[in-house]
Structure 1
Amino acid sequence: MRVAIEVVHIFIGLVAAALIGWASAWSYPRATDDIWLVAFACMAAVVLMGIGPVRRAYCDDPADLTRKSKDVANG
């Protein structure tokens, strides 16, 4: 479950960076290429900064990832 939460956080960060990049490019069209370059760099940074927490979440609770629905009481 923690892995999914961390991946959702990365996704939210990517969406936020894309929206900020879009709004910035819309508001200043003369620098659209430069703005998107910075936005893509920020998106790459979000992904790179999210790798560590995803790895920690995966290592902390690997049993949750391998558990089958028949292994739990409520199915």
Structure 2
Amino acid sequence: MNRAVVFELLWLAAALTITALIFWAGAWSYPQGARTIWPIGWATMVAVLAMSFYDIRRVWTRRREMRDY
């Protein structure tokens, strides 16, 4: 694994952490809506994860292409 892949994975971890903290703060500040806020938060984190797969795959394949030369 090269540095670019590691950076993409770290960026993904940071994005998921920040997203979870935002939804945690929302659920904490509005306890009546916590049962509604958390499912939306989980769906958002799944969307963040899905959107990052393209960039991780792109960096991984670029590394493999560069290694072949």
TM-score scaled by length of structure 1: 0.80
1:3 maps to which of 5, 8, 11: 5
Q: Which residue of 1 aligns with 2:45?
A: 43
Question: For 2:13 and 2:48, how far apart are their aligned partners in 1?
Answer: 9
Question: Paired residues, what number?
Answer: 63
Uncovered stretches (5+) of structure 2, i.e. residues with no partner: none
TM-score scaled by length of structure 2: 0.87
- Deviation digits for residues 32-70 of structure 1, max 9, x if unmatched? 01100111011001100000000000001134xxxxxxx
Q: Percent identity?
A: 35
Question: Aligned partner of 1:55: which letter?
Answer: R
> Hey, which bits of structure 1, 4+ residues long, moved more than 4 A?
none
Larger radius of gyration: 1
Uncovered stretches (5+) of structure 1, i.e. residues with no partner: 64-75
